Chains A and B, each alone.
Chain A
Amino acid sequence: MTLDLGRAEGNAAAGKDHLRDAPSQARILVVEDDDNIAALLGRELRGLGHTVDLVRYAEDALFAARGNDYALMIVDLGLPDGDGLDLVRELRRRTVEAPILMLTARRRVEDRVIGLSSGADDYLVKPFAVPEVRARVTALLRRPSRLRGHRIAVANMVVDSDALEAVVDGVSLALPRKQFQLLELLARRKNHMTPKRMIEEALYGFDDDVTANSIEAQISKLRRALKAAGAGVSLETRRGIGYRLLGANQAAN
């Protein structure tokens, strides 16, 4: 028997027909302390046209993530300076929203569940088959950014539509349901104007009693809550058009 490596000319060229929808030239961070595995992943992903940064330590990964906007991260669970689970949690706390593929030799179902609930988007058990890594990477990169998870990061704030909470600098922000819905909508459309009518349709049902200033009142309360929590965002009003959520830096520009 031979192994199915999708053999063609070179490893990574193999199987490209299956990957034609994959975004090319994504920047990927690989956090792996096994030199052979890291080199294999680097070779394969570069062969697919991606830019790959390889690091061995969790600390280096945090540093790299601070300075680069990665389209994907591959994180091994057993790192020399810490647990990959803690690294994933810290990346999410720092509002890194790139999809994360967790790589581990831990084979128990509960380990996989813990990995996914820590903020990873996918989980691959070692030993792995190279074509499976390629396929998973491609699938994760193919997801529209708004679907790459249910967390939307804006500046130091993360809006988590699964947990139904907004978190600012790691601290949960207690918002009433309507304000959370409003924030989630604006965060999904961050940097874009959201018309008032769209907000009304998202927040209120046909039978709800919506007064002329209902949206303004919700916006005002939300703005105060964000400011009180120290969120580095700005909620901009354009009279007659709608509202826009911006990171503080963007608002200043």
Chain B
Amino acid sequence: MLESIIQNVINALQWGSFYALIALGYTLVYGVLTLINFAHGDVFMVGAYIAFFVATFFLTALGLPGWVALALCIPLTMILTSMVGVTLERIAYRPLRNKGAHRLYVVITALMCGLILEHANLAILGASRKAFPPLIDVVVYDVGGVTFTNLKIAVIVTAFLVFFFLHWVVTKTRVGMAMRAISYDKFAVPLMGIPLDQIIVVTFVLGSGFAGLAGLMFAMSYPVLEPYMGALIGWKAFIAAVVGGIGDIRGAFLGGFLLGAVEIMVVAFFPSTFRDLIAFTVLLAILTWKPTGLFGIAKTTKI
């Protein structure tokens, strides 16, 4: 009994790590721009594909050993994915922002960018699924009936490290201070000599880069890639961010693990097809009970 509980907790931590990593990207962009970057789930998907191509290139074309390939793969994937994110920002979001368009139009643009990424992938690479090459040997540990792999531990540790890093960036550094300032007042900030566009680019680099990392981790854990893999997990990560109170780093992180735990528990007790149903119902219940999420602060509305 105890073993199965611990086993489920480990599974929940690993599953929640993916949600947390993606939700962090959502919440960073939302915190700065109050923009729901609906393309983020698909940036995650692109990250997984970039990781696939980079890893295959290193393994087959250069014939490097697995751990060297992984060590090169991590920074390269993060850089390339963040370039995708920044490109989206430059091409689609920034012109709208400079025109002072309504926030809703930016959200729709983001939604459409996500669709384009998905279907461009489908059109270029075809509908066949890609199998991710194994980079490291998966070792299974068994401690008193509880089994876990080195990969699972790596995923969980990565999520925690990324969280602490982002938390440090936002609360302790000058860039983070500028981010918080932009979210506080977008019009006064340029007057204080803060380069608005550069800070926003940094935000997108951070968010997309860690989405790319999540893509790599996901591809290593579940080595089947398909163009629609980012859609559902992206929506759910967004839900995690909202449950935690979007715009708050701690909220996104906790929300991710909460959603992961809920889903794993559902699978443990019900048929697995109930997973989405119950996850979304929990979201509905939380938002009806506390509309701003767990960490969110209600803003007073002025006329």
**Are A and B bound to each other?**
no
